[in-house]
């Protein structure tokens, strides 16, 4: 068997660990491993490279992906998808391991239903993928957010100010919620629970009345204030900051963490998760099983049908949301 591996969508720390494990476990199963560079774009263009145990040496500690990643508009077209199928046939690929987020796993499902046995590995710092408790990259991103909040709090305390910190999460508030809890935020704003900006200002003032001289508000980038249009000018963090700035009794400062959350050496958790999922993926292909994504559920590796990708993740726990505000009081 000849198996191709690609990484697609936004990079996530731990992708290299998954690549390394898939290659070395695959080699141990007498599989010939091939890397596809630049995700689905490379599959469309036929950009393939051989992978062996030495090729993937010394990469487990690095963030990003040695295979690089890209968002492919071509793969969304009929012609592009046919080119991808042609690449699979001309290269003699017997199966694919596709590492990426929700959109990437939907692409894996399409390939699987069109005759290319495919296994998906969830990698997304947003942790918004159905069927897995944790995706590769989430834990590292959380650690980055918490470290940033620790540093911001030093300044917030010194100057007695409100800091608005925007983190990633277009459709899921997981990073904001868990990062806010671990980082001691007073307020967390997530897409799943819209509240009005008037309510945010009231919460800040209530804290001030209790003697809190500083506050940290963590905002997921996909947060939309209650009563506001879905499409807004500027970022969610900017909208919150601007509204509070109009209130003379509140002096906010805005920090947008942005792509800082994507990079850096993966945490031990993400390295271990990448290894476990990468090894399981090639094992399933060797056994003739495909059409699934491997994920983590209660410390066990499970297989979730690719056809379920796109369903809403269940990783937001509203009890934790309530806990943030109980502790902040």
- Tell me the pLDDT band of 213, cut-offs 50, 70 and 90: confident
φ, ψ for residue 303, nearest 5 deg:
-115, 130
For residue 145, give the nearest of 188, 203, 103, 102 by alpha carbon.
Answer: 188
- DSSP H helices in the chain: 15-28, 39-45, 78-91, 102-113, 138-159, 174-182, 197-209, 236-245, 268-286, 318-328
The yes-or-no verdict on residue 231 having pLDDT over 70 is: no
Token reading at 280: 């399981």
Q: What is the pTM of this model?
A: 0.94
Stretch 247-251: mean pLDDT: 76
φ, ψ for residue 234, nearest 5 deg:
85, -175
Distance CA 160, CA 19 (A): 46
Residue 126: is it exposed, middle or buried by C-beta count within 10 angstroms (0-12/13-18/19+)?
Answer: buried
Residue 147: is it exposed, middle or buried by C-beta count within 10 angstroms (0-12/13-18/19+)?
Answer: middle
The yes-or-no verdict on residue 304 having pLDDT over 90 is: yes
How do 95-100 and 48-51 pair as beta strands? Answer: unpaired
The yes-or-no verdict on residue 254 having pLDDT over 70 is: yes
Provide the pLDDT for residue 226: 86
Provide the pLDDT for residue 70: 87
Distance CA 44, CA 138 (A): 29
Among residues 112, 126, 139, 270, the one annotated as catalytic is 126
Secondary structure of 244-260 as H, E, C letters:
HHCCCCCCEEEEECHHH
**What are 309's strand-pairing partners?**
311
Q: Percent of the chain, pLDDT > 70?
A: 98
**What are 300's strand-pairing partners?**
297
Strands (DSSP E) along 69-171, which ranges? Answer: 95-100, 118-122, 162-167
- Tell me the pLDDT band of 251, cut-offs 50, 70 and 90: confident
Distance CA 23, CA 294 (A): 16
Provide the pLDDT for residue 234: 72
- Asked about 47 being catalytic, the answer comes back as no
Cα 204 from chain centroid (whole Å): 30
149-163, 180-194, 222-236, 268-282: range with lowest mean pLDDT: 222-236
For residue 35, give the nearest of 57, 11, 72, 66 by alpha carbon.
Answer: 66
Residues 113 and 305 sit within 8 Å (Cβ to Cβ): no
Provide the pLDDT for residue 141: 97
How do 252-256 and 215-220 pair as beta strands? Answer: unpaired
Residues 104 and 293 sit within 8 Å (Cβ to Cβ): no
Token reading at 304: 């979730």
């Amino acid at each position: 068997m000849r198996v191709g591996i690609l990484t697609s969508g936004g990079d996530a720390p731990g992708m290299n660990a998954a690549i390394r494990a898939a290659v070395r476990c695959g080699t141990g199963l007498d599989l010939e491993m091939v890397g596809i560079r630049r995700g689905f774009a490379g599959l469309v263009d036929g950009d393939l490279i051989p992978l062996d145990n030495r090729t993937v040496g010394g990469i487990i500690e690095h963030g990003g992906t040695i295979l690089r990643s890209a968002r492919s508009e071509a793969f969304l077209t009929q012609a592009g998808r046919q080119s991808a199928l042609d690449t699979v046939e001309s290269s003699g690929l017997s199966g694919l391991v596709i590492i990426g987020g929700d959109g990437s796993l939907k692409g894996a499902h399409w390939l699987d239903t069109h005759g290319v046995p495919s296994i998906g590995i969830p990698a997304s710092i947003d942790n918004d993928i159905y069927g897995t408790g944790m995706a590769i990259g989430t834990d590292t991103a959380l650690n980055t957010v918490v470290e940033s909040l620790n540093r911001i709090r030093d300044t917030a305390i010194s100057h007695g100010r409100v800091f608005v910190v925007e983190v990633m999460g277009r459709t899921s508030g997981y990073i904001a919620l868990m990062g806010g809890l671990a980082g001691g935020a007073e307020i967390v704003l997530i897409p799943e629970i819209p509240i009005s900006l008037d309510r945010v200002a009231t919460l800040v003032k209530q804290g001030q009345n209790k003697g809190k001289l500083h506050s940290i508000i963590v905002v997921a980038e996909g947060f939309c204030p209650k009563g506001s249009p879905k499409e807004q000018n500027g970022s969610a963090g900017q909208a919150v900051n601007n509204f509070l700035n109009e209130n003379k009794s509140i002096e906010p400062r805005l920090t947008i963490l942005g792509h800082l959350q994507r990079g850096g050496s993966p945490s031990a958790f993400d390295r271990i998760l990448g290894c476990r999922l990468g090894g399981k993926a090639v094992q399933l292909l060797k056994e003739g099983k495909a059409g699934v994504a491997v994920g983590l559920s209660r410390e066990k590796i499970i297989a979730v049908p690719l056809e379920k990708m796109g369903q809403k993740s269940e990783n937001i726990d509203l009890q934790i949301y309530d806990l943030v505000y109980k502790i902040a009081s």
